[in-house]
Structure 1
């Protein structure tokens, strides 16, 4: 089944060229199927790139999925055209009375700031609180995961001595958990972050389960016991060249601490190799199927 997206969204043409089945709104309206309603709070600077990455991962679902793109009203994005934001995005005030089957909160390049110093922190807190009663399950990614863990469970982020940057091997700890069903015992995830989660506080929580970890990158996948909150510290949605683009950006800024991403390039070359795509797709499919579709009511009260 297809993903349901606006006719003129830039991601539509890209996904169709990759033979991912997309359906425009007019065709979806005439199908007698209730789509899964997913709201994506997109905090990444390159919003069109992030839209395409997330829709690609959800595009192989057997479900019809309808997306609403959300941005904070208290922050003005600098890297996306105003016309694109006006056409495809909305703000929290327009959806606060609605119910959604799932929500995705993306990362954001603001790790150096305390949560309380983020310009839209108060609005984000309001959205996260709203999600507890208006969303069946929420998937938080990278900084979004750290923000969600801090808000919902009081788990703080900690600074790392150097950036966790590269593609790292992870071990599945909860092999019978539905979210990692079908996973190999070892799998790969890209990471790009200067901060980590306070592990002492995380392990002390009786509301959370650690599902996978990495010897080099630390904890990766966490889920609440009621399955309403999922936290992902890496970036499995990244394209093959995304880490390379970040590396070249940092090199161009003459940052003294820049190191090449680990375990990312082919041996004896500077060509990236993608070793995370299959598990990334499976993770998003498992979340959409087990945590969203099979748990959400057909009709919200």
Structure 2
């Protein structure tokens, strides 16, 4: 298991109502450092990148440990990395965690509950509902969690939501403290959760987009469960690398349709060059063409306007975890 301060850390002021600061190690009477777990289920090609992204958002003032599901299929290199730096999900209960972040995994089965890891995943969800102060579910993990908790089925869409979308706050909540009413958030998904079904089961939607629906929602209980359909953790070039991957899948025949450009993401000049390449890809579809995909420096994305909001969201979440942990300790 990887703790804060280990060699793998390179991978990888908000308040309840602007009154509860985030945990600070230099406080006169510091509380114990928060212990956060990351259950990283991302595919091999995104495993280390995901560590880096969440390490950046969670920061250095907490102890971060990594966990994995053995039932997620892995290649030998990823397995070696997990064996070195990760603990199995069965170690979660004994890890003394205050909170947990759970990522998704690229689906292979027609239904999430048919995935090989689903039984282990639901075991973790059931434990987290009682064993943590809060658990945050990222994208596909959010879909799998609400399916298990309340049998809410995600709905496939005709086209993929890919891009950066304006998401508006739909209420007041400590997670949104200090944020603008409308924030840009990256999304990359083929499926959606109907808002009316979430509301009917007692979930509270905190942020939504007119274009792509629910972005951020929560479920109150013994543990505060936070669900993200988007990817605030994404780096500037993440959507660009996904688009390049999807073009490659189209060219080699593993994907039927040519992907659309991520929306609201590329500069105008970059979008023009990439659209020209997409037209060529559709006309001369062949794997060898992928070598001619325009270089990143010739097709830059716009500045990552979502990153300040993402950092604020995670500071707010950690502040909320710290405050709720203190309440639990006062009652105990």
Q: Shorter-chain TM-score: what band?
A: 0.7 to 0.9
Q: Which has the higher contact order (CA 8 A, sep 6+)?
A: 2
What displacement does 1:79 show? 7.8
Q: In the alignment, what sits opposite 1:240?
A: 236
Aligned length, in residue pairs: 275
Structure 1 residues 33 and 86 mapped into 2: Cα distance closer, same or farther (>3 Å)?
Answer: farther
What displacement does 1:154 show? 2.0
Q: In the alignment, what sits opposite 1:101?
A: 98
What displacement does 1:218 show? 0.9
Q: Once superposed, what is the RMSD of the aligned Cα atoms? A: 2.2
Q: 1:120-269, aligned counterparts within 5 Å?
A: 120-174=117-171, 176-205=172-201, 207-226=202-221, 228-254=224-250, 255=255, 256-269=257-270
Aligned residue for 1:189, secondary structure, equals strand
Given that residues 38 and 101 in structure 2 are in contact (C-alpha distance below 8 angstroms), is that contact kept between their aligned partners in structure 1?
Answer: yes
Distance (whole Å) between structure 1 residues aligned to residue 140 and residue 208 of structure 2 = 17
Please point out which of 288, 294, 299 is paired with 2:323.
294
Please point out which of 58, 63, 69 is paired with 1:72.
69
Distance (whole Å) between structure 1 residues aligned to residue 99 and residue 307 of structure 2 = 22
**If you compute each CA radius of gyration, which structure gives the higher value, 1 or 2?**
2
Instruction: Point out the structure with the larger strand share.
Output: 1
Structure 1 residues 200 and 79 mapped into 2: Cα distance closer, same or farther (>3 Å)?
Answer: farther
Distance (whole Å) between structure 1 residues aligned to residue 42 and residue 79 of structure 2 = 15
Q: More deviation in 125-134 or 83-92?
A: 83-92
Instruction: Point out the structure with the larger helix share.
Output: 2
Given that residues 108 and 115 in structure 2 are in contact (C-alpha distance below 8 angstroms), is that contact kept between their aligned partners in structure 1?
Answer: no
Aligned residue for 2:121, secondary structure, equals helix
- String of CA shifts for 1:232-272, please: whole Å, max 9, x gaps: 10000000000000000111122424111000012233311
Q: Return the TM-score normalized by structure 2.
A: 0.77
Q: In the alignment, what sits opposite 2:38?
A: 40
Aligned pair 1:82/2:83, yes or no? Answer: no
Distance (whole Å) between structure 2 residues aligned to residue 110 and residue 299 of structure 1 = 42
Given that residues 74 and 123 in structure 1 are in contact (C-alpha distance below 8 angstroms), is that contact kept between their aligned partners in structure 2?
Answer: yes
Distance (whole Å) between structure 2 residues aligned to residue 224 and residue 53 of structure 1 = 24
Aligned residue for 1:35, secondary structure, equals coil
Aligned residue for 2:98, secondary structure, equals strand
Aligned residue for 2:133, secondary structure, equals strand
Given that residues 99 and 300 in structure 1 are in contact (C-alpha distance below 8 angstroms), is that contact kept between their aligned partners in structure 2?
Answer: no
What displacement does 1:190 show? 0.5
Q: Return the TM-score normalized by structure 1.
A: 0.85
